[in-house]
Chain A
Amino acid sequence: MAGKVKWVTDIEKSVLINNFEKRGWVQVTENEDWNFYWMSVQTIRNVFSVETGYRLSDDQIVNHFPNHYELTRKDLMVKNIKRYRKELEKEGSPLAEKDENGKYLYLDFVPVTYMLPADYNLFVEEFRKSPSSTWIMKPCGKAQGKGIFLINKLSQIKKWSRDSKTSSFVSQSTKEAYVISLYINNPLLIGGRKFDLRLYVLVSTYRPLRCYMYKLGFCRFCTVKYTPSTSELDNMFVHLTNVAIQKHGEDYNHIHGGKWTVSNLRLYLESTRGREVTSKLFDEIHWIIVQSLKAVAPLSLQPVMNNDKHCFECYGYDIIIDDKLKPWLIEVNASPSLTSSTANDRILKYNLINDTLNIAVPNGEIPDCKWNKSPPKEVLGNYEILYDEELAQGDGADRELRSRSGQSLGPKAGRSRDSGRTVLTTWK
């Protein structure tokens, strides 16, 4: 009997609620029988926790994977990518190839990062190698640019030194753990301004890995001109692109919100730098995303039960491009902001949720977790297949290396004639 999908959410955002209502779904509370729960990250912890958790039945879907924090906590993401790289190196995979300086050729996409206070001494060693470098301190568990600051002197982070004698500092619980990363002080500037990329990636399953990239990602520009000068290290308007921060700047504009579409970026780069390097950049960005997902794929499932079928997740990837057109993965967000800063924004986020729901809950009907999670092409909306492990493996040995131009994701992505396949290049 086809009933109406019963939904619950603990995030009161209109872009969500409007989408549920337009499908004719029925709102219930979490204590009732629900089919679809859009939960915040705190709630997901309870659902899957060993003590308070409960088994999800076949007609229930949630919007997070149980161990998503392996990717979305800054320290764990770095740890997992480092582990992944070592694993590949151990098995002799060509992906783990290094160059003559010991840098990974294909997997060097996270800026050098250390956990504090755990890796303090390692960090100091690295810092002393290039003492004029700038580093960025980020609290592991916070978002929206909160608590971030830049340093260029060891004295600025004395507090985190492991055997610090200034014991007045309260002992660090995991909540106060920080990561410190090499600051990318040569970001690509457009119009003299720094920007970062926010890309939305939907993962419907990890085993096999099936992920989709939202075509309408955007660039967030800082309102103030970028300067690497050390005097401006404290000026967060120069360095942090989070809208939550930029919104309070004097020059913040509420019409465009300091945002550009990714297609604008592509047009600009192709016009000023040429097509090959632009395609290569976007290929690398897709590569980074897929590799990061592969790194955590084995961990996203609890050892005991297979929760993959009940979950999907829409991540917000933050990427910075440096002036050599190399992309760097800065972080991954599990709950990308659903607040809208401009009218365009609202439309974008509404459509994002809409397309996400179309893939995760096909036909808007009560989910049946036994389905194979393979949506037909038509429902993708503004999503494109980024990587489909099943299809990729089905090719086997004769998987072709596709030529770059015209095949990478972007405004021309639909060109790939067999749309189920990966559209990325340089897969080995």
Chain B
Amino acid sequence: MLQEESDLSLIIAQIVQKLKGSSLYAQLERQAWASLQRPEIKLESLKEDIKEFFKISGWEKKLQNAVYSELSVFPLPSHPAAPPEHLKEPLVYMRKAQGSWEKRILKSLNSMCTELSIPLARKRPVGEQKELLNKWNEMGTDEPDLSLFRPVYAPKDFLEVLINLRNPNYENGDSLSFRTHLGLIQVPLKVKDIPELKECFVELGLNTGQLGIDDSTQVPPELFENEHVRIGQKVLAEQDSAAAQQYIRQGSPTALRAELWALILNISSQPEDILYYEQLKTNVIQHDLLVDSLIYKDVKLTASNDDYYFVFEDYLYQVLLCFSRDTSVLSHFAYNSASPPKSYIRGKLGLEEYAVFYPPNGVIPFHGFSMYVAPLCFLYHEPSKLYQIFREMYVRFFFRLHSISSHPSGIVSLCLLFETLLQTYLPQLFYHLREIGAQPLRISFKWMVRAFSGYLATDQLLLLWDRILGYNSLEILAVLAAAVFAFRAVNLMEVTSLAAAEAVLADLSTLKVMPLLQIFLFATVT
């Protein structure tokens, strides 16, 4: 009991510490001072009166939301003497693997840089700065020569690294046999099985109304949709993050989604946020980074060719270029197993005083990175808000999809969850695919790394991301991947090659995700 209490007070202390540095704290302080003018605040009961005032005026709610937001990424309780690396990633072998992967990426980046004789960063001459400022809203029309640039890595390179992950402490006594090497992922992490998933995703059950199922044309709106919309409006009026998160498990009405996501992610566009974004924009104008070309190339290769997102090409540059200069992103590395790459001022290699993080936000984009931003353009058309939402989505969720960690929402766990679900509940399919050299993970990996962006129709993708926010977990991606295989099982059983399997699963744009998930979790005979 005492241990729990002291754990709790430690957590509280840490959160208080964190929030003291935020603008919310300054605002609360200002509000408290201003409230002294109010007649109901009496000197004798100052503390209670101010607390009451905060409650009534909605400031307490804002504080609640901020605390809730902090808790959602708070690392799991650990030993008080644990070193900070342990908070990033408790398993040593994972940390090591992530470290060597990072070294490889940085090496690749540096060698590209040397080959092309382009500096990692340079200050733009004034003329170029002016030009860029003029073109800020239409950078898509720029056609720089990107032919020599290659993406630093693609998802399939990352998959190879994950396949080779081994836990040196794990010895299961079996000699190398068929059974020990069924799937591609060979590390023993705990993943949920279907009964546990059913418990976890209970709101997706057959008896609960869902958007994505129960708002279809055949169902009269009085049965579910109208009431759900009404509740959604109420949640927004209350401005309660936790309630919104619970509500959105059943899906968000299209018209309310933008606000609901902002509420859950605790984003409110304050003037200082807009100012911060403008500051980042200035940084982009003044300095040119090598990663900018990587971003350009990625957008041109992916989003520009996408039926849904090509319209927003210019927004993508505006968000991603600013993102790579945003040093506030560095704080998420406290709970990310990855570490920001370091680079050195020219000529001072190895001297720690001259080390800088490169890119400034510590995140090197890979092929398909821009697809994390693209769906958000359907919801937010104001660049600074779009930016804030994306940044928060990244530091809460997306980073886990391309760093090696043991976290249940980390990509390694997702891969293992996917494979285990298939092996356990669709063994015949799994065996067949393996036999023809079409390991299922090789096909589904890219879906999960991109959180299905660019593979599903946008309205379906947004329904899926609703649930990611609602459950504060990415496990649903692995479940959906397995559900897709289950859905196309009949066709897959007939193919005889990896290429043919890929072809069966090439087009997911007609899939409806919620029925697939519901059937797989709750209606499949096991």
A residues touching B (Cβ–Cβ < 8 Å)? 190-193, 221, 224-225, 250-251, 253, 255-256, 258-260, 263-264, 267-268, 270-272, 274-275, 278, 344, 406, 411-415
Contact = CB atoms under 8 A, between A and B. Distances in A.
B379 interface: yes
A253 B379 CA distance: 24
A263 B257 CA distance: 17
B377 interface: yes
A264 B458 contact: yes
8 contacts: A191-B312, A191-B315, A224-B141, A251-B141, A253-B305, A263-B459, A267-B458, A271-B379
A399 B193 CA distance: 55
Interface string B473-490: 000000000000000000
B304 interface: yes
A contact face: mostly helix, strand, loop, or mixed: mixed
Interface in B136-192: 137-138, 140-141, 143
A270 B255 contact: yes
Contacts of B458: 264, 267
A192 B137 contact: yes
Nearest to B221: A406
Contact of A225 (B314, B377, B381): B314
Nearest to B305: A255
Contacts of A272: 258, 378-381
B137 to A, nearest CB: 6
Contacts of B377: 191
B217 A221 contact: no
Given A192-B137, A224-B141, A225-B138, A344 B307 contact: yes
A256 B254 contact: no
Interface of B: 137-138, 140-141, 143, 217-218, 220-221, 253-255, 257-258, 304-308, 310-315, 377-381, 458-459, 462
A260 B312 CA distance: 12
Given A191-B377, A192-B314, A267 B305 contact: no
Contact of A267 (B218, B380, B459): B459
Contacts of A413: 217
A271 B314 contact: no
A191 B141 contact: no
B141 A221 contact: no
Contacts of A406: 221
Contacts of B143: 250
B311 A221 contact: yes
The DSSP consensus for interface residues of chain B is helix
Contacts of B306: 256
List 4 tightest A-B contacts by C-beta distance, closest first.
A191-B311, A414-B217, A275-B255, A270-B254
A274 B305 contact: no
A275 B254 contact: yes
A192 B140 CA distance: 11
A256 B307 contact: yes
B255 to A, nearest CB: 4
Nearest to B222: A406
Given A192-B314, A253-B305, A271 B137 contact: no
Given A191-B312, A192-B137, A271-B255, A412 B307 contact: no
Contacts of B140: 251
Given A264-B458, A271-B257, A412 B310 contact: no
Nearest to B215: A412
B314 to A, nearest CB: 6
A311 B311 CA distance: 39
A275 B218 CA distance: 20
A406 B257 CA distance: 18
A344 B304 CA distance: 16
Contact of A191 (B257, B258, B314, B379): B314
A44 B217 CA distance: 40
A217 to B, nearest CB: 15
B312 A253 contact: no
A193 B311 contact: yes
A255 B306 CA distance: 8
A207 to B, nearest CB: 31
A300 B402 CA distance: 63
A253 B310 CA distance: 9
B138 A192 contact: yes
Counting chain B CB atoms within 10 Å of each CB, the highest count among A224, A272, A278 belongs to A272
A323 to B, nearest CB: 12
A224 B138 CA distance: 8
A97 to B, nearest CB: 30
B507 to A, nearest CB: 12
A310 to B, nearest CB: 35
A284 to B, nearest CB: 18
A282 to B, nearest CB: 14
Nearest to B381: A272
Given A225-B137, A275-B255, 17 more contacts: A191-B312, A191-B314, A192-B137, A224-B138, A224-B141, A251-B141, A253-B305, A255-B305, A258-B310, A259-B307, A264-B308, A267-B378, A271-B254, A271-B255, A271-B257, A274-B255, A275-B254
Contacts of A256: 305-307, 310
A213 to B, nearest CB: 16
Nearest to A260: B311
A250 B137 CA distance: 18
Nearest to B143: A250
Nearest to A273: B255
B506 to A, nearest CB: 13
B226 to A, nearest CB: 9
A16 to B, nearest CB: 25
A116 to B, nearest CB: 35
Nearest to B216: A412
A253 B254 contact: no
B367 to A, nearest CB: 17
A250 B138 CA distance: 14
Nearest to B312: A191
Contacts of B315: 191
A228 to B, nearest CB: 14
A225 B317 CA distance: 15
Contacts of A224: 138, 141
Nearest to A267: B459
Contact of A190 (B218, B304, B311): B311
B510 to A, nearest CB: 12
